[in-house]
Amino acid sequence: MVAMSSSDTTTPVPASQPALARAPIAERRPVPREHHGEVFTDDYDWLRDKESGEVIAHLEAENAYTASVTADQEPLRRAIFGEIKAHTVETDLSVPSRKDDWWYFARTEEGKQYGVHCRVRAQDTGDTAADWTPPVIEPGVPVPGEQVILDGNAEAEGHPFFSLGGLAVSRDGNLMAYAVDHTGDERFTLRIRDLRTGQDLADEIPDVSYGVVFDRTGTRVFYTVPDESWRPYRILAHTLGTPNEQDQLLFQEDDPGMWSGFGLSADRTELVVSIGNSEIAETRALDLPETADEPLGELRVLVDRSLGMLHGVDPVTLDGQRHYVIVHNKDFTTEEPGHGPAPAPNNMVSLAARETVTDPRSWRTVVGHSDTTKVDGAAVTATHLALGVRRQTTPRTLVMPLAGLGTGQQGQPVEPDFGEELYSCELAGAPYESPFLRLSYTSWVTPSQVLDYAVADGALHLRRQVEVPGYDPQQYLVERWWAPAESTDRRVTIPLTVIRRRDTEWNGSNPCVIYGYGSYEMSMDPGLSVARLSLLDRGVVYVVAHVRGGGELGRTWYEHGKKLHKKNTFTDFVDATRFVAQSGWVDPDRIACMGGSAGGLLMGAVLNLAPELYRACVAQVPFVDALTSILDPDLPLSALEWEEWGNPITDPAVYRYMAEYAPYENVRAVDYPAIAAVTSLNDTRVLYVEPAKWVQQLRRTVTSDQQTPLAEGGSPIVLKTEMDGGHGGASGRYRAWEDRAWDYAFLLTALGATEPV
């Protein structure tokens, strides 16, 4: 049962102010946790039993309390939802992408939650450029011969949740494999549809992970299976029309700290299997038979994990001979005495012949290592190599011909030229036979563009720019600031992206929202957010703090924010906040912070470090009980996390270090800001129990005024649980808009910035 105790009441409020409803108080049921001679008592561990009616009743009570506390924000939420809707063309479509004999695209329709996947026949006239130029298709207007292959709205009907985990079409265009999740737990059911009839075949495989592809013949599909901790560890081949029990196991990874995944080579003649984590990788390959009656062979190792390096492999044929383009982080052309190959943390690119690929000393350098540019990956077509790189925080694309690759006679990489400083240009498609590379371009203020880059002459062809009704980019300004890392080393400067309306005055009175993530080498890249306009148009100065632990400044930036350097992530965010507060642009008393998942861990940690800096915080699916979760290898994905945080089970130093920053274990008896923790019951990446426990610990510990309404200056602490969602929250675009409107209304109410400027 959910117990209420008078001893847990919060600070009384003056009679002149309206008091809030009583927050749910969970009963304390102490469970000791002992590791390395240290004991932590967890009073709320019982909340992890999601099958318990008592736990569900508690979460529903929290939702009811949250609804009551934030009821006055409903008009603002409706306004923000309306603004997002007004800035969105609801009946729209993607740019068609060609595969084999069809152009594939997706439509969205006004009033419908999910996209509709469609296709039309392609033409082959002999004019390569014309044949690979996408047809002009109008939103809401059917094209003669257009075929709907999957309607997300129909698939979602009768279900509280819908998500696709993979979609692939056979080479002859007759069959479609697709994986569907109807709960949000990221375990999918794989089905096969005959696109000639629109009917699903009898083949059905439950509990698969992300990703599905056909072989060359269209008679087999490849898929992955997760273990009990949700780690993709088995790769299987299913022959259509046969029982699932006969599916051929191609690979099984037994190391609990390693992922498995697969993809097809660009020419679709090889299956490439990738195994690894954030520090080490292995790649294997399988030659795919040309006919259905040929059996599948054995996977062969291309790059062994014993080399101890991260890498990616792309098969390519040069002058009739099979080779592999390898992006890797060790330089085997330079040996360090007693240490082996020299480190190349920002990666280099090499070319290896099939016969000698297992010997890295035989690899030929294509692009050497750079201290200022990180190579994130590669893709090949029949004629060119494209490289995804990152320089000065921003992702870019380089292109070079395959001719002469690795011989010293190769052409120099060419980068498409754009006029903005802070932008994102990423490879969005590289069809093997196409004369174009499909690029995605955007910036913090530029709506997304789909471009086709002609590899022959470097010309850029704009295929589409996302229309944002009522939006004028000239009204907004983006700047790059650099904040010194005062807490650790002033020589380190933290890049900040600062976005504001151009008419914002430098008078020290503006509200501010600071966003951060800082883990897994993930970068917070430029991109226009329609929802963010609702903040900017209310005078908010929006700041993205690119803290250590992310990948914005290369591999070293990441490594200095992981494991026993993880605290740098948190102190960087605090230092960035102080820098912004002293900039003269914002009111130091009107700063809010926001982050999700590992960014939610960031939120919990910085609130413990410097709660006085923030007026409010929204923590989305927050990883706030990280130590407890990582200590349990049976929980989803826990063992994989050891490469990011260290292994506190076996290493006392890691345990003590994590215990010093774990948000749930370090809540202090001081004033904290208003806090909204947002989670989902079926999230398998960050379990709902983490924010549920954290909220209870906060309520009973902090000294701030939790009884006065948010709009009146109070600091309530609320938990909102999506009962039918996963790690990304509820499914469907309108539900996503509602979620973002809820988050922003909470922050804007706390900042006193509810009206457009």
Reported as a single tens digit per residue, the pLDDT across 271-321 is 999 999 989 999 999 999 999 999 999 999 999 999 999 999 999 999 999
Output the pTM of the full model.
0.91
Q: Rounded to 5 degrees, what are φ and ψ at 246?
A: -95, 0
Tokens of 234: 């088995």
What is the per-residue pLDDT for 451? 97
What is the per-residue pLDDT for 731? 62
* Tens-place pLDDT, residues 193-249: 999 999 999 999 999 999 999 999 999 999 999 998 888 999 999 999 999 999 999
Burial 387-423 (b: 16+ CB within 10 A, else e): bbbbbebbbbbbbbbbeebbeeebeebeebebebebb
| pLDDT at residue 405 is higher than 60 | yes
Q: Can you name the CATH fold of 159-308?
A: Methylamine Dehydrogenase; Chain H (2.130.10)
* Tens-place pLDDT, residues 157-173: 998 888 899 999 999 99
* Tens-place pLDDT, residues 603-657: 999 999 999 999 999 999 999 999 999 998 877 667 778 889 999 999 999 999 9
| pLDDT at residue 3 is higher than 50 | no
What is the per-residue pLDDT for 723? 87
Active site residue 339: no
Question: Domain map of the chain by residue range?
Answer: 63-86+471-751, 93-152, 159-308
Tokens of 7: 């001893």
What is the per-residue pLDDT for 697? 98
Determine which helix (DSSP H) or strand (DSSP E) holds 544, and give its type and residue range: strand 541-545
| pLDDT at residue 5 is higher than 50 | no
Q: How far apart are CA 429 and CA 451, in angstroms?
A: 10
Q: How far apart are CA 452 and CA 441, in angstroms?
A: 11
260: DSSP letter: E
What is the per-residue pLDDT for 12? 38
Q: How sure is the predictor about 730, in pLDDT bands with cuts at 50, 70 and 90? A: low
> What is the mean pLDDT of the segment spanning 99-113?
93
Q: How far apart are CA 365 and CA 409, in angstroms?
A: 12
Of 169, 180, 198, the closest CA to residue 104 belongs to 169
Q: How sure is the predictor about 338, in pLDDT bands with cuts at 50, 70 and 90? A: confident
> What is the mean pLDDT of the segment spanning 417-439?
93
- Catalytic hit among 683, 705, 739, 743: 683
- Catalytic hit among 727, 731, 739, 743: 727
Active site residue 727: yes
CA of 594: how far to CAs of 120, 144, 233, 617, 672, in Å? 43, 47, 34, 6, 15
| Number of other CB atoms surrounding residue 199 within 10 Å | 8
- Catalytic hit among 597, 629, 638, 704: 597
Architecture per CATH, domain 63-86+471-751, reads as: 3-Layer(aba) Sandwich (3.40)
What is the per-residue pLDDT for 727? 60
189-203, 486-500, 658-672, 730-744, range with the lowest pLDDT: 730-744
For residue 715, the cross-strand partners are none
| pLDDT at residue 16 is higher than 70 | no
Active site residue 350: no
Q: In what order do the strands lie in the sheet with 364-367?
A: 311-318, 321-336, 340-353, 364-367
| pLDDT at residue 580 is higher than 80 | yes
What is the per-residue pLDDT for 1? 27
Q: How sure is the predictor about 4, in pLDDT bands with cuts at 50, 70 and 90? A: very low
- Using only C-alpha atoms, the chain has a radius of gyration, in whole angstroms, of 27
Q: For residues 285 and 302, is the Cβ–Cβ distance under 8 A?
A: yes
Tokens of 600: 């939610």
